[in-house]
Structure 1
């Protein structure tokens, strides 16, 4: 039996003056644990080509937590609750949108490159009703574990691996690991057979229990998997994510993910009424 129940390739999606690779959702939402969204960006630009923040790209969120992880570059976050933070390569920004927030992000390429991923995690009903929150962790603040025999590493962005735990808050048993794999290395990774998982290959070439995964492809693992074997055919950057199945109803609409159509209508109405507050750009 094949390990992956499906493998999808990302599609180009406009994002301001640039394009990103939209991994999920595509035709419809296919949750992986609490994860409902993934964009992969690999942008070539000079600092002068990145627009200065002026509010035009500011946008709301509600009902989710966003997580931006950088492989290369620098990103600054600003939101309507007064949170401000900057992380660079290897760092992560987490924002709990809760009951409604407006945020803006702008980037500074390093050596004319900006590479990273943005995930959305669906909050439960309680989390959707709570106030927004924000947390930023640098590369040095995320646990890194040596795996394999050739120098490969596993970084814990969300969740726990053995005795290593990330400080990014989660509502349930969820994980997000960044595996930086050296060519020829082979590792075994244990999983919880009752959880849902997917893999995303940002770069390189790998085999997962004998099945190939190419760059910008996401593989949805079959249910009941207790362990996977990963072989790096070249230096590769792999992400594994997922966790406990999200059991509540899911209604998605633009930047909001709610539990009912009525909640979705309320989310839009309260945004239009200004209840998510506004960003103070004077603190930049």
Structure 2
């Protein structure tokens, strides 16, 4: 049942650590999911430097989905949106032909506290790769939720268990937040050809294997997946139908290398609009010299 177990790789993004799970050398995608970072968990003291913030940067060919367990951050993008996100909420940004955005931690900087959450990238199907950029925010109360013995499940995106999330997905997929009490049991049906489970907290047992925090199990197609929580646990269930192979470079996803090169040239030449509310700085293309210091930033 388990084809592969992936251990997160810790990466320092400049004062803020993430655990990178996808893409992985032996498994680039699960359904349309092409990227998964576990942001934190981290404890911040008030007054930490602005260098921890994620400055404006570009995307093409994907949707980003941000989901928090703890903390708060503020999204600003080139469509004109400024939107804080808090635990249990969803920020869904579709890049399509091109978008730029930043993620700032003003509330944490003012008050201190914990940051813990997941950011995923979902590759767009071919017919939507060049769609207009868009953004939507969904409160926790908008997302379908159900409970049974020892389990609370929230459907973040896609369709599962007869429910549909209001988050606009572009291809068949599912993304679930499972909170399990110790010794609780749950089952994931065989509704999609590609499925995986990421253990965000605690320890679980699947298919006779013990999985710890920071590990992802990728499942073979067909057959339901039974999960038992060894300890209290949070498990993110995700997958869907494949959208075809994709190339990924820096923040760009595309079905052709030529499109990646065009996106790199556009960013280098300043042809991608920055967020109106956050246009004083940006992240240069890797390998390019840093931009000159802006005295207004």
What do residues 203-260 of structure 1 show as CA deviations (whole Å, max 9, x unaligned)?
Answer: 1111113221110001111122x3111111111000010000122x411111001111
Q: Confirm whether residue 259 of structure 1 aligns to residue 259 of structure 2.
A: no
Residue 69 of structure 1 and its aligned partner are, at CA, apart by: 0.4
Normalization by structure 1: what TM-score?
0.91
Give the aligned length.
275
Partner of 2:271: 275
Partner of 1:94: 92
CA distance in 2, matches of 1:115, 1:51: 18
Normalization by structure 2: what TM-score?
0.87
Question: Do 1:158 and 1:175's aligned partners in 2 also have CA atoms closer than 8 Å?
Answer: yes
Q: Confirm whether residue 231 of structure 1 aligns to residue 228 of structure 2.
A: yes
Residue 272 of structure 1 and its aligned partner are, at CA, apart by: 2.5
CA distance in 2, matches of 1:279, 1:37: 23
Question: Do 2:74 and 2:85's aligned partners in 1 also have CA atoms closer than 8 Å?
Answer: yes
The structure 1 segments of at least 4 consecutive aligned residues displaced by more than 4 Å after TM superposition are none
Q: Confirm whether residue 23 of structure 1 aligns to residue 11 of structure 2.
A: no
CA distance in 2, matches of 1:231, 1:135: 34
5+ unaligned residues in a row in structure 1: which ranges? none
Residue 189 of structure 1 and its aligned partner are, at CA, apart by: 2.4
CA distance in 2, matches of 1:75, 1:127: 28
Q: Confirm whether residue 246 of structure 1 aligns to residue 243 of structure 2.
A: yes
CA distance in 1, matches of 2:269, 2:170: 29
CA distance in 1, matches of 2:100, 2:177: 28
- The 5 A counterparts of 1:159-174 are 159-174=158-173
CA distance in 2, matches of 1:27, 1:165: 32
